[in-house]
Structure 1
Amino acid sequence: MQHLGRNRIRSKKVERCKVRRKGRNFKVLKKSHIKLALKIAKESANKNEIPVGCVIFDKKGKVISSASNSSIEKNDPTAHAEILAIRKACKNLNLNKLNELSIFVTLEPCKMCEYAIYEAGIKKIFFGAYSENSSLTHKKINYQLENNGYQFYGGIEEKECSKLLTNFFKKLR
C-alpha cells in the first residue's frame, strides 16, 4: 500500500479512503443508516436496475429523502440514486443547498454524483462498497474535496454492499 496524503491510501486493486471512526455509537448509528440504503438498493435490484441505494439524513437522523438507481426505468443515464435523492431533498426542504445534511449510499459515488453532492453542499458522504471503476482523477477530486471540509467515510457494511452488486452482475452474465 502507498500512502497518498491525508486519509488516502492506494492498494494494488483500488485507492481507498480510510473509514473514520468516532466511537462505538457512531459506528452503530451509521450502520443502521447504510442498512436503510441497502434495503432500497435491494428493491432496485428487483426492478433490474443496478442496485444502488441512497438516503439523505438531517443531523438528528431523520430521513429527508431516499432513492435508488432508475436509469433504465427513466431512460435517463443521470438517474443515479444520489442525484435523485438530492433532487427529492431539495424539493422536500424547498432549498437548493443541503448544508448540514449527510448522504449515505451503498456504492462510492461516481464523479457525476460527487459533483452533485458538492454542488448541493452535503459535506458528509458515507458509502458502503468501494467502486472498482474509480480512476486516479476521481481520487484526486475526493482529496481536493476533503481539503475543503468534505468528509468521506467509506467501507461501511462493505461486504454486504459489494455482495449485492456482485450477485446482481453475475445474474446478468
Structure 2
Amino acid sequence: MTAHAEMQAFTAASSYLGGKYLKDCTLYVTVEPCVMCAGASYWTQVSRIVYGAPDEKRGASRYGKLFHPKTEIISGVLQEECAELITSFFRQKR
C-alpha cells in the first residue's frame, strides 16, 4: 500500500479506536501535511497536529485554512532536525 504517513496513521488510529473521529488524538509528523492530508485531518477531527519542518512547495498552510477549526496546529518543533531528516530521505530516494 502506498499512502502518506498521515493517511496511514489516521486509518490505523480509527481502526484501533473503533471510530472515525480522533478528537482526543495528536498527530506528530516530520513535515507539514499536504492538502490531501489536511483534508483527511479535517474529516477525522484530530485534536492536534505537531510538525517540524514547513513544506514550502506543497504544505497545506499555503492554501488557507484547510484544517478543522478545532484542530490545534503546532509547527517548528525541532525544525532544523526535521528538515535535515527529510532532505536526507529524499536525497537517498533519488
TM-score by length of 1: 0.49
Instruction: Tell me the residue number matched to 2:71.
Output: 150
**Following superposition of structure 1 onto structure 2, how do residues 12-161 of structure 1 map, counting pairs within 5 Å?**
74=1, 76=2, 79-134=3-58, 138-142=62-66, 145=67, 148-161=69-82
Deviations 1:18-55 (A, max 9, x none): xxxxxxxxxxxxxxxxxxxxxxxxxxxxxxxxxxxxxx
Q: Which has the larger radius of gyration?
A: 1
d(CA) in 1 for partners of 2:79, 2:59: 19
Deviation at 1:135, TM superposition (A): 6.3
Describe the shift of the 1:165–1:83 C-alpha distance in structure 2 as closer, same or farther (beyond 3 A): same
1:106/1:161 contact within 8 Å kept? yes
2:34/2:59 contact within 8 Å kept? no
Instruction: Tell me the residue number matched to 1:169.
Output: 90
Deviation at 1:99, TM superposition (A): 0.8
Unaligned runs of 5+ in 2: none
Cα-Cα RMSD: 2.1
Greater relative contact order (Cα 8 A, min sep 6): structure 1 or 2? 2
TM-score by length of 2: 0.85
Deviation at 1:133, TM superposition (A): 1.3
d(CA) in 1 for partners of 2:75, 2:54: 7
| Count of matched residue pairs | 94
Deviation at 1:136, TM superposition (A): 8.2
2:53/2:75 contact within 8 Å kept? yes
- The structure 1 segments of at least 4 consecutive aligned residues displaced by more than 6 Å after TM superposition are none
Report the residue type matching 2:74 in the other structure.
Answer: Y
